[in-house]
Structure 1
Amino acid sequence: MPRTVWLLVGARAINRLGAFSLPFLTVLISTEFGASATTAGALSAAFGLATIPSRLAGGRLAVRLGRRRTMVLGLTGCALAQLGIAAAGSLAAVALFAVLLGLAFELYEPPSQGMIADAVGSADRVRAYGLMNTALAIGGTGAGLIAAGLGRWDLRWLFVVDALTCLVCALVLHLVLPADHLRPKAPLAPGGRRDGASPWRDRALCAMFGAGTVFALVTMQIMIALPLSLDRRGLQPADAGLLFTASALTVVAAQPALHLRRLAVLPDSVALALGYVLMALGLAGYAVAHTLPAFTAATVLWSLGDVPLLGRALGVVAELAPPGAADRYLAAYGVSWGVATVAAPVTSTQALEHAGVAALWTATAALCLALAAAQLVIVEPLIRRTRPPRAVRPAHPPEAGGRISRT
């Protein structure tokens, strides 16, 4: 992998080490300020709503301001907002800083993903994004343990430590990444429209966006509803940190499996559908779990499904983008996380309140099975019409000196 990819991966791992506060935002609102589950869900949804313009702004600022500046700006803004949440003395103050956090939260993603897309060839993009996913998982192993410890002491400290890692990550990126050189505007396509200026006109991207939104909804429901589910099953909500650590360790341990030839040569949509099915099986386990070991086993299972998903999906989106439009395509696709972050606090808290733990996770598992079917029947035909056939990647791409990559 090029040096730029490794720098982004290292900085992201540092940031991920402290990125454990979001799953506990609803818990903080409920326990520290006595808010109802409905109010806590609404405030978390306000945070998610703010991430939608944040993601789109990240794609535009990457072009106009520069990728490095945009990433540093986003991380610094996240740190200041999280410190505000930690110091807030009223529910109104928490709501204000939660919205400000959302406005800064997604600025980082489009420029970092676009930088990776430009740094490697199309055949290596899945590996590069998979490497980023591994770094997030490695950072997540420590993040879950810190969350489990600090969460038992004072939930506010979760936001303080998260803010500090954002600042460290911003400093590292500012010092090690090359200075920004603003890129020229994309050339005009026939008809006077700039190539890549309107990714929403790409039907294949819209299909990936729909599937990505459902996947993001499932992921956000896990983050938000898992601590609350543990509490309703008579366990410590902070034990969700241990489960998130188990998930991260599973993702790291499973990375070598991605280089097995039978998995490496799978078409993208088949690999994505397989991941969704494994997630469904694990989430169904949450519906019947009543002990921490049972929750852990279910976590390991759905985490195995998560392994092939992120790298494959981002790789497909990057390949759909015309030259020079990767930032905007990835930003448009990433809006799915903003939509899910709005919906998940409401859907998860309402489902827990009115239907219970078992019904929430059963419905979420069914959603994953539906997503697997849609990927093969609806999304894949649209991708095939838009994207030219791609040569099969070797299962073990050789590196310099003949050594085999383990990432």
Structure 2
Amino acid sequence: MDANKKGIASLTEGLPPTYWLIWIGTLINRLGGFVIPFLTLYLTIQRQIPVSQAALMVSLFGAGSFIAQLTGGELTDRFGRRPVMLMSFFITPIFMVTLGFAENLLLISTSTFMVGFFTDLYRPAVGAAIADLVPPDARTRAYGYNYWAINLGAAVAPLLAGLIAEYNYLTLFIADALTTIVFGFIVLFGIRETRPPETHQSSNTPLSERLEQLKRAPILLWFTFLVLFFGMIYMQGNVTLPLDMQSNGLGPKQYGLAIALNGLIIILVTIPVSNMASTWPRFETIAIATVLLGLGFGFTALASTLPLYMISVAIWTLGEIAGTAVGPAIIADLSPPNLRGLYQGVFGSAWGLSFFLGPLAGGWVYEHLGKNTLWAGCLILGILVSFGFLLLSRKAKLEKLSVPG
């Protein structure tokens, strides 16, 4: 019993109660994360929209996400973490339900963009709040556990969504909206502002001066640039993977099973990997993660049955786990307290831009050059980006930047 208590204590060491409220809210929100993984199928099957147009509409979600990251980061530093979270969690459901009812292309496009914007507006605030609450040596675990919560919900959500989508797509949008509102109430009644008091005065610094500080942080900018390509590869799991499976006679239910495996592996592996990765060199870790991501999607070219698709998913999931735990920790370590929101926003903007460019590039290559070209491209790009992270690691060491691990 004492050994078990010590084991639990080692897992939770350095993680305060407010962190765990964020973790619980994240889990609940992701349990209802039905819409985005199935948005491509919804648009092509339910709304009878051509693949290229559907990919463009999914890219509008990414465009909204991209703008939200930078906007949310600036608002987080200027007004605090809590107000940005509340705005995100109570406005998102309005546009989520609107998207579910929308039938014409203009309303679908507008709603998709707004869902992308308000869904991701809170992310820099949560990233900054975790950096506020958690000491540097526990940050890889903190971000890793939070990503674990995302995928604990995501392991269940695709299974439910796949079954629901067979009968009624609208229910997906309503349930997604309700779980977002629950997270909003957790923040409203349970979470106080975490912004360090010493940053309040600097929050009035003009945006132009704050952007000048970013220009003097080349490691951050290059790291963000490489993460953009990491995200573009990763996005194929939501956009072109279901299309590839559908071309082999595998529908929403089978795709739901494949993506549920992604969540299941993350549930089983993220905690031990996050604990181990807290002592690993961080840039080298994300380099290895990117190779695994590319290998996994490259293997998709060989897949034609559900078991083979699951092998592909298993490989790239390992890269996803390591990369998503270490990436935010690197950003938190690099950012000064008064710029935590902006740094997280810049980092998150790479993911938002990848949500825009990934579907566009992936959908175009899939439709015009063929799926095998797409998957080979993912493999080659993953290898090239991994070398970029290794070069960046060397630059960080030469500049003697403080990045634990």
When normalised by structure 1's length, the TM-score is: 0.89
Task: Sort the Cα spacing of 1:255 and 1:52 in 2 relative to 1 into closer, same or farther, 3 A.
Answer: closer
CA distance in 2, matches of 1:391, 1:360: 36
Q: Is the 8 A contact 2:282 2:404 kept in 1?
A: no
CA distance in 1, matches of 2:44, 2:215: 38
Residues 1:214 and 2:223 are matched in the alignment: no
CA distance in 2, matches of 1:75, 1:387: 39
Residues 1:248 and 2:263 are matched in the alignment: yes
How far does residue 300 in structure 1 lie from its aligned partner after superposition? 1.2
Residue 280 (structure 2) aligns with: 266
Residue 202 (structure 2) aligns with: 186
Task: Sort the Cα spacing of 1:144 and 1:195 in 2 relative to 1 into closer, same or farther, 3 A.
Answer: same
CA distance in 2, matches of 1:249, 1:237: 18
CA distance in 2, matches of 1:131, 1:180: 19
Q: Is the 8 A contact 1:207 1:382 kept in 2?
A: no
CA distance in 2, matches of 1:56, 1:133: 21
Q: Is the 8 A contact 1:52 1:339 kept in 2?
A: yes
Select 1:98's aligned residue among 112, 116, 129. 112
CA distance in 1, matches of 2:262, 2:40: 21
CA distance in 2, matches of 1:47, 1:256: 30
Q: Partner amino acid for 2:218?
A: R
Residue 53 (structure 2) aligns with: 39
Structure 2 gap segments, 5+ residues each: 1-14
Residue 9 (structure 2) aligns with: none
Residue 293 (structure 2) aligns with: 279
Task: Sort the Cα spacing of 1:289 and 1:20 in 2 relative to 1 into closer, same or farther, 3 A.
Answer: same
Task: Sort the Cα spacing of 1:284 and 1:204 in 2 relative to 1 into closer, same or farther, 3 A.
Answer: same
Matches within 5 A, 1:67-106: 67-106=81-120
How far does residue 6 in structure 1 lie from its aligned partner after superposition? 0.7
Structure 1 gap segments, 5+ residues each: 393-407
CA distance in 1, matches of 2:270, 2:60: 35
CA distance in 2, matches of 1:323, 1:287: 45
How far does residue 103 in structure 1 lie from its aligned partner after superposition? 2.3
Residues 1:362 and 2:373 are matched in the alignment: no
CA distance in 1, matches of 2:193, 2:27: 21
How far does residue 68 in structure 1 lie from its aligned partner after superposition? 1.4
Matches within 5 A, 1:289-304: 289-304=303-318
Q: Is the 8 A contact 1:48 1:340 kept in 2?
A: yes
Q: Is the 8 A contact 1:275 1:306 kept in 2?
A: yes
How far does residue 326 in structure 1 lie from its aligned partner after superposition? 0.9
Task: Sort the Cα spacing of 1:357 and 1:81 in 2 relative to 1 into closer, same or farther, 3 A.
Answer: same
Task: Sort the Cα spacing of 1:187 and 1:57 in 2 relative to 1 into closer, same or farther, 3 A.
Answer: closer
How far does residue 53 in structure 1 lie from its aligned partner after superposition? 1.9
User: Across the two proteins, how many residue pairs are aligned to each other?
Assistant: 388
How far does residue 109 in structure 1 lie from its aligned partner after superposition? 0.3
How far does residue 194 in structure 1 lie from its aligned partner after superposition? 5.5
Residue 8 (structure 2) aligns with: none
Residue 384 (structure 1) aligns with: 397
Task: Sort the Cα spacing of 1:197 and 1:139 in 2 relative to 1 into closer, same or farther, 3 A.
Answer: farther
Q: Is the 8 A contact 2:295 2:379 kept in 1?
A: yes
CA deviation string 1:189-229 (max 9, x = no partner)? 9xxx8577632431000111111101111121211112111
Select 1:138's aligned residue among 152, 165, 173. 152
Residue 402 (structure 1) aligns with: none
Q: Partner amino acid for 1:70?
A: V
Residue 362 (structure 2) aligns with: 348
Residue 191 (structure 2) aligns with: 177
| Worse overlay, 115-124 or 47-56 | 47-56
How far does residue 265 in structure 1 lie from its aligned partner after superposition? 3.2
Q: Is the 8 A contact 1:187 1:194 kept in 2?
A: no
CA distance in 2, matches of 1:333, 1:238: 33
Specify the SS of the correspondent of 1:307. Answer: helix
Q: Partner amino acid for 1:240?
A: Y
Task: Sort the Cα spacing of 1:391 and 1:359 in 2 relative to 1 into closer, same or farther, 3 A.
Answer: closer
Q: Partner amino acid for 1:101?
A: V
CA distance in 1, matches of 2:210, 2:102: 45
Q: Partner amino acid for 2:255?
A: A
Q: Partner amino acid for 2:168?
A: D
How far does residue 34 in structure 1 lie from its aligned partner after superposition? 2.2
Select 2:143's aligned residue among 124, 129, 134. 129
Specify the SS of the correspondent of 2:238. Answer: helix
CA distance in 2, matches of 1:195, 1:96: 31
Task: Sort the Cα spacing of 1:29 and 1:331 in 2 relative to 1 into closer, same or farther, 3 A.
Answer: same
TM-align CA RMSD: 2.3
How far does residue 391 in structure 1 lie from its aligned partner after superposition? 5.8
Task: Sort the Cα spacing of 1:207 and 1:390 in 2 relative to 1 into closer, same or farther, 3 A.
Answer: closer
Q: Is the 8 A contact 1:351 1:360 kept in 2?
A: yes
Residues 1:28 and 2:42 are matched in the alignment: yes
